[in-house]
Structure 1
């Protein structure tokens, strides 16, 4: 068995630091998304309001982490990051609608784009920095 074959069969698990970083970054960026949205509409009660706006997407992200098994490769864009992003948006929108909130097309489009930039962007940057550090 040559070295290349051995390397392909070894599964490297991410460290707890990478999992914790990705989990916290996801949560913080979802809160930032909610805060930006509320500020752009000059809605009151910054703390409670942000939490009320963010909770469906935080719950969606939790579902995405579980369904996509994101902890296995928390910084990988495909398939983990993409799965997390799509489940976060879809579940978040379904939860919003099920609790009497709106999900107008413009909001769905903005949320999809912004959450994509946030949830995939920090993974792309972290991956780039890690590859650069190893080189």
Structure 2
């Protein structure tokens, strides 16, 4: 006899999607804030938003392209596309709006955004595995 699989309630799924999207948003804002602070930039709030918006737009494109809402906590199905979208989209939009795009920044952004956007999903997957034991 096949075991019955229960689907999570729609409100649980919606809450997970909202929390994952909000976490991505917060982590991208943190990335921008850390970078601005490291370079002693002024305009803390507006400056962070101006730095973050290209990466946020790229992350949104990554969410859409991967349909990340289907499995928002998956490192592979959501994390990697959101990371790549935020990185590539962010750099393209920065270049199109005459913001700085230099190799050291690309390297730092690649690593930092990977750690943030893929990393928390990997950590959550590890916690879930440990709890199941």
TM-score under structure 2 length normalisation: 0.89
Structure 1 CA distance, aligned partners of 2:110 and 2:63?
Answer: 17
Q: Which moved more, 1:87-96 or 1:77-86?
A: 77-86
Q: Report how far residue 92 of structure 1 moved.
A: 0.5
Alignment RMSD (CA, Å): 2.0
Aligned length: 131
Counterparts of residues 1-135 of structure 1 (less than 5 Å): 3=2, 15-135=13-133
Structure 1 CA distance, aligned partners of 2:38 and 2:51?
Answer: 13
Q: Report how far residue 124 of structure 1 moved.
A: 1.1
**Hey, which bits of structure 1, 4+ residues long, moved more than 6 A?**
10-14
TM-score under structure 1 length normalisation: 0.88
Q: Report how far residue 85 of structure 1 moved.
A: 0.8
Structure 2 CA distance, aligned partners of 1:54 and 1:61?
Answer: 10
Structure 2 CA distance, aligned partners of 1:87 and 1:31?
Answer: 15
Q: Report how far residue 133 of structure 1 moved.
A: 3.3
Structure 2 CA distance, aligned partners of 1:80 and 1:93?
Answer: 20
Q: Report how far residue 17 of structure 1 moved.
A: 1.9
Q: Report how far residue 11 of structure 1 moved.
A: 7.5
Q: Report how far residue 105 of structure 1 moved.
A: 0.5
Q: Report how far residue 79 of structure 1 moved.
A: 2.7
Aligned residue for 2:63, secondary structure, equals: helix
Name stretches of at least 5 consecutive residues in structure 1 with no aligned partner.
Answer: none
